[in-house]
Amino acid sequence: MSAEKAVDLQFVAPHVLQIRMQDRVSKNTFSEGITEGLMEAFAEVERQPDCKVVILTGYDNYFASGGTQEQLMNLSDGRGAFTDRALYSLPLQCPVPVISAMQGHGIGGGFVLGMFADLVVLGRENIYTTNFMRYGFTPGMGATFILPQKLGLALATEMMLSANNYRGEELQQRGIPFPVVPRDKVMAHALELAQTLAEKPRVSLVALKDHLSASLREALPATIAQEVAMHAVTFAQPEVKSKIATLFGA
C-alpha cells in the first residue's frame, strides 16, 4: 500500500508485518479510509504466508480515535449499527498474533480496537479512554466484553461508567497487565516482542492463537447483540444527539 493511503502495510522485520493507521485529516477516527484500509490490510495479512506477527500502530500522538461525528449522528438517528462492518474484532480474527503498539492516544472505539489484540503495549504519556458515556450512549464495539477480559472487571467498569481520561502511567499504577513504556519507546518494545514471536514456527503460532482466542470468539457475538440492543435505547435520547453535536472533538 502506498504511503498516501490512510492505512499502510509493510514488513518492518523478517516475518513481521506492520499495519499503520495514518489518516492525519481525521486524526485516526474510523473514517472511510481507515475502515476500508484496515479491512484490506488484515485481509492481505491472510494472503501473506511469510507473515508470523502483525504490529498494529498509529502515527505521531494518535493510535486510533473511534467513530467519526457523522457516524455517531447516524447512530443517533437510527441509521446503521457499529456491526455493519466488524472493524473492532479484526485483530481477534486475524490468524497470526497481533500486537497493538499504542504509541498515541486511544479513544473510545480506538482504545477498544487495541484491546482486541493478543498483546498490547501502551505509552506512559498517552490518553486512553472509553468515552462513550461522555455523550450519554452506552459502549459499543465489543467494549463491554473485551475490557473486563483484558483490564479486569473493576477498572473496566470504572472506565466505561466514568468516561474519564487515563494516562498510560496511571493505568500502569492501577496494575494493568500490559507493558507501559515512554511513548517514543512503544514501537521499539513492540518490535522486540514481535521478533521474539517470529522466531517460532508459523504453524505453531497460528494453532496456539486459535486455541487461546477460541473462547473469546465464541462468546463475543452474544455481547455484541446486547450492545446493539442498548444502543437502540440509549442513542434515541435527544440529549445524546445534542452532546454529540456540541462535545465531539472538544
Residue 182 contacts residue 52 (beta carbons within 8 Å):
no
pLDDT tens per residue, range 60-69: 999 999 888 8
CATH architecture designation of domain 7-182:
Alpha-Beta Complex (3.90)
Catalytic residue check, 231: yes
Distance CA 43, CA 56 (A): 14
Distance CA 22, CA 193 (A): 22
Distance CA 245, CA 242 (A): 5
- Selected catalytic residue, list 15, 105, 189, 231: 231
pLDDT tens per residue, range 8-59: 999 999 999 999 999 999 999 999 999 999 999 999 999 999 999 999 999 9
Residue 3 clears pLDDT 90, i.e. is over it = no
Indicate the domain borders of the chain.
7-182
Q: What is the pTM of this model?
A: 0.95
pLDDT for position 1: 38
pLDDT band at 250 (very low <50, low <70, confident <90, very high): low
